[in-house]
């Protein structure tokens, strides 16, 4: 769906805006907007795009977990997504939240997933078409997924602790201030109840935005290899765990490592700092 001048391991995981603008009417794709700002979609979106709210649509409203396979199937059916539909995600914040939605779709085994390189901001900056009209699609049939792929692409607190003790690759993608323990939340964001600041012992600080260019596209494979492999902790086939605050920013890094660099065995610790910073007995380091 796009050329690969950047040398990515899986260039098919990205589409460029030129291609997407020409293929918005294709019946075998569904464009999904997913943003941090859940009200942004209503102000204008790519024609034909549906909106998936990362909180209301993907997370269980009572327990700290994701929706059930049954609810995932219903989410897909009402948005006109079938098992063989290619879902193209995009959103604000350099695709940080759209990568989160993509990761959640992979959690339920949906294989045909892609990211619009540059996301919402670049599409809008380029003067491409946007609309406030909400599309309606015929309801599809989507079998309830037989499992959720928690073991394959998701990590839990005990596994993050084991990773730390074994001195295996742990990447903290939060801001430097959060990593050092100087603050417990992102600048200009509200405090969300985390009691302690710092990072998981042995973690390497690589803020998620390091992987993005100024125009919100992803950096080239050579640049990403230097960041994560040559200067970073990811070596050989070692299992890697990434984390942030609730697993959203780290989904962006998970996508970079898994799809753009082709690193195997990468898991996202979505409990992240909201869990670790409040967990009784969890070890914490402060400073750089």
What positions carry a catalytic annotation?
Answer: 244
Chain-centroid distance of CA 129 in Å reads 25
CA angle (214 as vertex; 211, 220 as ends), nearest 5: 45
Q: Rg for the chain (alpha carbons), in Å? A: 18
Strand 240-243 versus strand 113-116 pairing type:
unpaired
Q: What are the helix (H) ranges across the chain?
A: 17-22, 69-78, 96-107, 119-125, 150-153, 157-165, 176-180, 221-225, 248-255, 272-276
SS3 (DSSP) at 234 = coil
Give yes or no for a contact between 236 and 224, defined as CB atoms under 8 angstroms apart.
no
């Amino acid at each position: 769906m796009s050329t690969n001048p950047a040398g990515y391991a899986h260039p098919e995981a990205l589409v460029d805006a030129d291609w997407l603008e020409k293929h918005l009417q294709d019946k075998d794709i569904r464009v999904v907007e997913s943003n941090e700002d859940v009200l942004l979609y209503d102000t204008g979106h790519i024609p034909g795009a549906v909106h998936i709210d990362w909180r209301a649509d993907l997370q269980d409203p009572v327990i700290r977990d994701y929706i059930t396979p049954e609810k995932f199937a219903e989410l897909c059916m009402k948005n006109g997504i079938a098992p063989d539909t290619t879902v193209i995600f995009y959103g604000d914040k350099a695709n940080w939240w759209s990568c989160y939605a993509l990761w959640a779709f992979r959690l339920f085994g949906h294989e045909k997933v892609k990211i619009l390189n540059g996301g919402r901001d670049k599409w809008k900056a380029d003067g491409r078409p946007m609309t406030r009209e909400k599309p309606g699609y015929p309801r599809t049939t989507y079998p309830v997924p037989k499992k959720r792929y928690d073991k394959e692409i998701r990590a839990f607190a005990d596994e993050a602790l084991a990773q730390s003790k074994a001195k295996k690759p742990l990447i903290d993608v939060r801001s430097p201030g959060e990593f050092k323990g100087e603050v417990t939340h992102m600048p200009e964001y509200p405090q969300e109840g985390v009691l302690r600041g710092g990072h998981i012992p042995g973690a390497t600080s690589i803020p998620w935005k390091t992987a993005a260019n100024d125009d919100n596209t992803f950096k080239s494979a050579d640049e990403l290899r230097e960041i994560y492999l040559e200067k970073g902790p990811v070596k050989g086939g070692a299992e890697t765990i990434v984390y942030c605050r609730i697993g959203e920013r780290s989904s962006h890094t998970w996508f970079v490592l898994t799809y753009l660099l082709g690193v195997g065995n990468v898991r996202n610790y979505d409990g992240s700092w909201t869990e670790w910073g409040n967990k009784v007995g969890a070890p914490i380091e402060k400073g750089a």
